[in-house]
Homo-oligomer: A and B are copies of this chain.
Amino acid sequence: MTGNETAPNPSSELSHSRDSRLSRRRLFGLTSAGVALAGAGVAVGTAARSPSGSPSGDAATSAVAFHGEHQTGIITPAQDRVHFVALDVVTTDRTQVVDLLKTWTRAAERMTAGAEMTGIGALGGNPDAPPEDNGEALGLPPSQLTLTLGLGGSLFDGRFGLADRKPAALADLPHFQADMLDPARCGGDLCIQACANDPQVAVHAIRHLVRLGIGATAVRWSQLGFGRTSSTSTSQATPRNLFGFKDGTNNIKAEDSEALRQFVWVPQGEEPGWLAGGSYLVVRRISMRIERWDRTSLNEQEATIGRVKGSGAPLGKQGEFDVADFTLPGGDKGGPLIGDDAHIRLASAQANGEIRFLRRGYNFVDGTNGNGHLDAGLFFLAYMRDPQRQYVPVQRVLSRSDRMREYIDHTGSALFAIPPGVRPGGFWADTLFT
């Protein structure tokens, strides 16, 4: 990793030409894919999607520009797959942390621009040395890869001279009723969210950054999400979670700049100043009690959610995007049709002082739960301006009263501050460290 180029430099590869194998490497790097790279960094992935909401054709494989006011992977139209990693910092040397953040930034610039299409990282360089890049994504297009860095509260514990720069909103999440958290799936000094339409691209990106961190960071936990459960753009259809319901219908969308301003981005003038243009990320691994769910009736399922399973419409309404009417009668025991404990009522902006946040979750399945069923659920990722005033009060209510409680367990949890976007020449979290 040489530092500050954003596209591979062919000449640096040629200088190592040595044998026939290397000649082929050079050929591979310069002709078959080198040209394609040139344009990849500027093609922003907002092109057409298929009616199902999955990206299709060039849109699915294009590059998302890395630099900007905000980090990508937040309001970027949600890609199909996620690989998420939480890391412990194992060095106590602040300089080493800063150097790693710079190295990671250069690597992120390269990978999101489609550097793997050239193979130079994997194949160039001295063949008697370890390749810079392992190359499992060699030849693959950027696939709308985004990489999003987060900083956990534990990073501000004093090891790196950051104690007085910790945001108040980064205080640990409280214990919520019925939390069943596995410490091995909680916390982390740092996190990286890799989203892409090709899982090999997302996995490669995380693996490569983890590798660059050896000696400074170690994997604390990681999670693969195989299918998105939220839309973050009006161009996307609403996907289904593993309960079989459309999820995220009322999510904040990238097109709603007023909602983004109000609920997602930390504004200028709010403390701490280094986080202006950033956000916070709440992570919850929500395991679903699938066997119990599968034994419930369709009516019970719809009453639990408050929506029609097929269309996704609020109960009593016709279309998915119709506004829910929480006053309609027709429920059990003379109550409202959308019951007092229905998920969409308790999670609604109306019931929470108009609080909202941007969800970006993924379905997961991780083998068996040891009880003869699959360990599956929803990997909840939500971005917001202040978790203490947005996620915490909503989750307090849900953890006490949500009818869905009977079918889920929160098994992992973490909270991260999300620094603002990287400017060309800058590095991740430079507003904090410089």
Contact = CB atoms under 8 A, between A and B. Distances in A.
Interface stretch (A132-140, A169-177, A381-389): A132-140
Given A127-B297, A129-B297, A298-B130, A310 B368 contact: no
A67 to B, nearest CB: 27
Oligomer: number of copies: 2
A123 B310 contact: yes
B90 A372 contact: yes
A203 B310 contact: no
A222 B367 contact: yes
B200 A226 contact: yes
Nearest to A24: B311
Interface residues of A, number: 83
A293 B134 contact: yes
Given A134-B244, A302-B21, A199 B219 contact: no
B374 A210 contact: yes
Contacts of A333: none
Given A363-B203, A374-B207, A24 B243 contact: no
Contact of A24 (B21, B134, B310): B310
Interface in A176-223: 198-200, 203, 206-207, 210-211, 214, 218-223
Given A130-B294, A134-B243, A367-B222, A311 B203 contact: no
A119 interface: yes
Given A130-B298, A220-B368, A308 B21 contact: yes
B135 A309 contact: yes
Interface in A43-60: 52, 56-57
Interface string A392-412: 000000000000000000000
Interface string A113-131: 0000001001101111111
Contacts of A369: 219
Contact of A128 (B122, B297, B371): B297
Contacts of A41: none
A28 B311 contact: yes
A299 B127 contact: yes
Contact of A131 (B25, B222, B298): B298
Contacts of A358: none
Interface of A: 21, 24-25, 28, 52, 56-57, 81, 83, 85, 88, 90, 119, 122-123, 125-131, 134-140, 198-200, 203, 206-207, 210-211, 214, 218-224, 226-227, 239-245, 290-291, 293-299, 301-302, 308-311, 313, 315, 318, 363, 365-369, 371-374, 376
User: Which A-B residue pairs are the 5 nearest by beta carbons?
Assistant: A218-B372, A135-B244, A199-B226, A127-B298, A200-B227
9 contacts: A90-B372, A122-B309, A128-B298, A131-B309, A138-B309, A200-B240, A203-B226, A219-B368, A222-B365
